[in-house]
Amino acid sequence: MSLHIINMAQAIRDGLRDVALKDPSVLFFAEGASDPTSVFGTLKGLGNEIGHDRIIEMPISENALTGVAIGAALVGKRPVLSFHRVEFALLAMEQIVNNAAKISYISEGRDSVPIVIRLVVGRGWGQGPNHSQSLESMFAHIPGLKVVMPTYPADAKGLIIGAVEDNNPVIFIENRWCHYVEGAVSDEYDSLPLDGPKIVREGRDFTVVAASYMTLEAMMAADVLSSVGVELEVLDIRVARPFVYDKIKASVSKTGQLLTVDMGWRQYGLGAEIVSEITEHCFSSLKGPPQRLGVADHPTPSSRGLIVNYYPDALDIARSVCRSLEFSESKMQTVLALFEDARQKNPIDTPHPAFKGPF
């Protein structure tokens, strides 16, 4: 085995290639599947490696083509659909909710729908109201669906393979900014189980459960808070349905504190569900009320002037933690001042120095 430093988009592409080479029933559906950009490079060159007949160019017909993929899955195929934005899949909700999520149940398990629907969450560069929504809790609400949302490249590669191997419909949510996250990824066939949150940093003082890109903000907050003696335990949600609470419960039992950080809105968000479950089952462990962060309760505006307070970041996470720990105002200001150095020098609306737009 050898490790390579690659970004998450490349890791997903490698995972898809590996699983498609192994299993000839894997098909790829996308609008622009075979165009030069190939869904942010995540399908690039696959046709040359697995045969162009397995790359299905999608007409701009999201609902029907999702149904077509479900139909093909009924008779043995493993389609992977890729949507450039989550919002495009809203046109396909009928097929996803009524058919993909129901067919195993309604057939008493005689049929299954092994499809993966990749949905990219846009952020920054003025994406605006209809190109940057985090709607994972809409999908996670539906029994019969699985919902995966990776943060790191190695996880993304293993989870995309695990998603394709899974016999159920899997909604695979990719934050566009996570595509730029780099990390060491094995070049071997590494399938990961869709088994729920993962502890990405251990700590004794405070449990922070974050969704996808927000895990990176939580990790940044953890680095800074560690320098003043506060140790965060950070859990990356990874799989939002079926939700596995064990690690979060164990962590809160240890720390007595919980903060959730949603990638989307707080109301009815993943954090709301997690806080509710933890309050119900770990009430006696809690030293204070659980806290939730999420994006501001309005649509995503386009202008970089309007998004200044929209996304929660490491500073917001640290502020929430300091308040829960009842830091004095002066101590809190001292801690928050440390973030001036730690925060990225990047503009507010781009993920990575390499990013120059347009989407």
**List of residues 6+ apart from 78 with CB closer than 8 A:** 23, 25, 26, 27, 114, 115, 116, 164
Token pair belonging to 86 = 């989550």
CA angle 248, 140, 33 (to 5 degrees): 120
> Nearest distance from residue 53's CB to other proteins, in Å?
6
For other proteins, the closer of residues 113 and 192 by Cβ is 113
Q: How far apart are the first and last CA of the chain?
A: 35
114 binds other proteins (CB under 8 A): yes
Three-state secondary-structure class, residue 11: helix
Question: How big is the site for other proteins, counted in residues (CB under 8 A)?
Answer: 43
Write down the least CB distance from residue 42 to other proteins, Å.
Answer: 22
Asked whether position 65 contacts other proteins by CB under 8 A, the answer is yes
Q: How does DSSP classify residue 293?
A: E
Per rule CB under 8 A, is residue 67 in the interface with other proteins? yes
152 is written with which tokens? Answer: 């790191």
Q: Which of residues 222-251 bind other proteins (CB under 8 A)?
A: 242
Touching other proteins, residues 134-153 (CB under 8 A) = 143-144, 146
CB of 99 to other proteins, least distance (A): 6
Catalytic residue IDs:
62, 131
Q: How far is the CB of 60 from other proteins (least distance, A)?
A: 9
User: Which residue of 3, 5, 21, 106 would you call a contact of other proteins, by CB under 8 A?
Assistant: 106
- Does residue 171 touch other proteins according to CB under 8 A? no
Contacts of 101 (CB under 8 A, 6+ apart): 142, 143, 144, 145, 169
Residue type, 110: R
Query: What are the backbone dihedrals phi and psi of residue 163, each rounded to the nearest 5 degrees, phi first?
Result: -65, -45
Task: Determine if 46 is a binding residue for other proteins (CB under 8 A).
Answer: no
**Would you say 109 or 288 has its CB closer to other proteins?**
109
Helix (H) or strand (E) holding 284: none
Phi, psi angles (nearest 5°) of residue 244: -110, 115
The binder of other proteins chosen from 109, 193, 288, 347 (CB under 8 A): 109
Return the closest-CA partner of residue 327 out of 205, 200, 203, 216.
205
Query: Measured from the CB atom, is 62 or 205 closer to other proteins?
Result: 62
Residues 260, 209: contact at Cβ < 8 Å? yes
Q: Is 22 or 52 the residue whose CB approaches other proteins more closely?
A: 52
Site residues, other proteins (CB under 8 A): 27, 53-54, 56, 59, 61, 63-77, 94-95, 98-99, 103-114, 143-144, 146, 167-168, 242
